[in-house]
Chain A
Amino acid sequence: MSTLANETYEARVVAASEPGVTFSGALSSEWIKFRTLRSSWAVLLAAVVALVAIAGLIGYVTGSKWDGQLDPEDRVASAPLQGLFLAQLLIGVLGVLFVSGEYTTGMIRSTLAAVPRRLPVLWAKGVVYGLVTLSTLIPTTFLAYGVAQLFLSHFGHSTSLSAPTAFRAVLATGIYLALVGLLGSALGWIVRSTPGGISLLVGLLLIVPVLLEVVPGQWAKDISHYLPSAAGASFYSSLQADGALSPGAGLLVLVIWVAVATTVAAFLLKRRDG
């Protein structure tokens, strides 16, 4: 049209000087997609608020009861970060939505038409979502910790980041949440539906651990340490539960969960009709 006014398209060959599909192109496309949906920011903000507000609340409550009936686990460095139980659902669901939203709206057809080799889309979505969650949630967990200390210090009980396990626990909480987000995205790719993806995620994080607890026998207990939620807890908690993995092993198991789910997602994306 305007670009080739006097030329016919009949013999047109796309020139080498015209950019093609690149991974950085896929990355910037996914970043545009993420930031131009209101739901992205709403859910992310909800997770931030949940982490900080709950940390403040826990800091206040534990501070005021410090000398009374408190379990040891309420006094450890990671205790105020329990907002993560809500935040993990929000971040996981947003991860599912970032992918399943493409399928429910039909956007995926445009996406795959633009990048027909497909896998760059999956990697780009993962990189974008991983960076977004890490860069917002790590500062948030430190902020939440600080807010909790503010309340605790009001009662004269604050710990500092230099306390054993404190720094690791705070940093790990942010990383755990980002990994749960990536797990959500992988599940979104696998089931291609929002309700399906959310059900799987909630089932894996909340239902399966409870089921394994009711099953009699030691094997169920042994397995349960390797679930994403338990492995995550080993990673971010200041306290090590009986028989639980070490923090490093917990992180490793969590990463394996994400890697396996993503590999299955990549395999299916490549193989299935879009």
Chain B
Amino acid sequence: MIEARDLTKQYGDKTAVHDLNFTVRPGIVTGFLGPNGAGKSTTMRMIIGLDAPTSGRVTVNGRQYRDHRAPLREVGAMLEARAIHTGRSARNHLLAMAATTGIGRRRVDEVIDLVGLHEVADRRAGQFSLGMGQRLGIASALLGDPATVMLDEPVNGLDPEGILWIRNLLKQLAAEGRTVFVSSHLMSEMALTADHLIVVGRGTLIRDVPVAEFIASASSNSVRVRTPDPSRLRALLTGEAVSVSSSTEGQLDVTGLSTDEIGLRAAAAGIALLELSPVQASLEQAFMELTADAVEYRTLSSSREEVAA
């Protein structure tokens, strides 16, 4: 469980994270989504105490990270930037990390096997490919067998096999009841992996919703209808929470009604339909629109209060 309350971070006069409030719950994969530079990495650095918040606080399992007796057993983190000495072997890196918290050699061997680095564990980390580096980062994160796992852009630079491996690993970790917090700037990746989304832009919270709800709301489903009698159909369909627009002669774009409802109403009124098809904006599109400019953040961030309440 990760809880951020009024979390703010300023570097000089630049605000990286502004008044962020969210809760990351156990048992599901929570995606931390936002364009590059939205403040995701800064937030994660504050969660494990690398950066101190300018104001507000963030706790893990009810306490600030540094106040835990055995931090590595509470939270396992992999940051986007490499955090490994290039001159040291993977095994020695993990042994050095483990030693701080009295984690034994057996657990080190276990995580090496778990991430599939057995063959290369004694090679210097500087010779590792990007994918091997990510696996070593994940091994470090799992070292303390923590209930909370936090990974910053874990699929970056991975090959398809590696991406699939991470997706399955994240789902497995969540199924075990762990709190799994994963950042990404790719909506499509999050749609496949995450159950819940925390969306940020320019350091501000934009959405805090289940993925399904985000997809439903953000993809602005509309229905394209072609008819020989557009003006009658328009009059018939227009109503509260329904908007009808027309870009081409004889074609209407309807939002707020399903294809079924439109078809049945048209039939009841005796209007012929030549085409009736759902149009789904791509998720990526929706995400980009959502995070496109600052004006929209402000209007949309008001939804935060509803979510938090």
Q: Which A residues are within 8 Å of any B CB, using their own CB?
A: 1-4, 8-14, 18-22, 25-26, 28-30, 32-33, 36-39, 101-102, 105-110, 112-117, 273-274
Contacts of A37 in B (CB 8 A): 85, 87-88
Contacts of A117 in B (CB 8 A): 66
Q: A109-B81, A113-B48 are in contact. Are A36 and B97 (CB under 8 A)?
A: no
**Docked complex Cα distance between A39 and B86 (Å):** 12
Report B88 CB to chain A, min CB distance, Å: 5
Q: Which B residues are within 8 Å of any A CB, using their own CB?
A: 26-27, 45, 48-52, 61, 65-66, 68-74, 77, 79, 81-89, 92-93, 95-97, 99-103, 110, 114, 140, 142, 145, 147, 176-179
Report B126 CB to chain A, min CB distance, Å: 9
**Docked complex Cα distance between A190 and B75 (Å):** 28
Q: Are B101 and A19 in contact (CB under 8 A)?
A: yes
Report B260 CB to chain A, min CB distance, Å: 40
Q: A37-B87, A114-B97 are in contact. Are A9 and B177 (CB under 8 A)?
A: yes
Q: Which residue from chain B places its CB closest to the CB of A273 in the assembled complex?
A: B51
Q: For B51, B61, B72, B89, which residue has the most chain A Cβ atoms within 10 angstroms?
A: B72
Q: Are A14 and B73 in contact (CB under 8 A)?
A: yes
Q: Are B83 and A19 in contact (CB under 8 A)?
A: no
Q: Are A106 and B82 in contact (CB under 8 A)?
A: yes
Contacts of B88 in A (CB 8 A): 33, 36-37, 107
Q: A8-B177, A9-B147, A32-B92 are in contact. Are A114 and B84 (CB under 8 A)?
A: no
> Given contacts A21-B101, A39-B87, could you give 12 more A-B pairs where the C-beta distance is less than 8 Å?
A9-B147, A10-B26, A14-B69, A18-B70, A19-B102, A26-B100, A32-B95, A33-B85, A105-B85, A113-B48, A114-B101, A117-B66
Q: Are B51 and A1 in contact (CB under 8 A)?
A: no
Task: Give the dominant DSSP class at B's interface.
Answer: loop
Contacts of B97 in A (CB 8 A): 29, 110, 114
Q: Which residue from chain B places its CB closest to the CB of A37 in the assembled complex?
A: B87
Report A30 CB to chain B, min CB distance, Å: 8
Report A26 CB to chain B, min CB distance, Å: 6
Contacts of A14 in B (CB 8 A): 68-70, 73-74
Q: Which residue from chain B places its CB closest to the CB of A12 in the assembled complex?
A: B147
Q: Are B86 and A105 in contact (CB under 8 A)?
A: yes
Contacts of B176 in A (CB 8 A): 1, 4, 8-9
Q: Are A29 and B100 in contact (CB under 8 A)?
A: yes
Q: Are A20 and B101 in contact (CB under 8 A)?
A: yes
Q: Are B50 and A20 in contact (CB under 8 A)?
A: no
Report B217 CB to chain A, min CB distance, Å: 28
Q: A8-B177, A25-B100, A33-B96 are in contact. Are A110 and B83 (CB under 8 A)?
A: yes
Q: Are A22 and B102 in contact (CB under 8 A)?
A: yes
**Docked complex Cα distance between A14 and B63 (Å):** 13
Of B66, B89, B95, B110, the residue contacting A116 (CB under 8 A) is B66
Of B100, B103, B178, the residue contacting A115 (CB under 8 A) is B100
Q: Are B147 and A113 in contact (CB under 8 A)?
A: no
Q: Are A116 and B177 in contact (CB under 8 A)?
A: no
Q: Would you give 10 A-B contacts (Cβ < 8 Å), ordered by A?
A: A1-B142, A14-B73, A22-B102, A25-B100, A107-B85, A109-B50, A112-B49, A113-B77, A114-B97, A117-B66
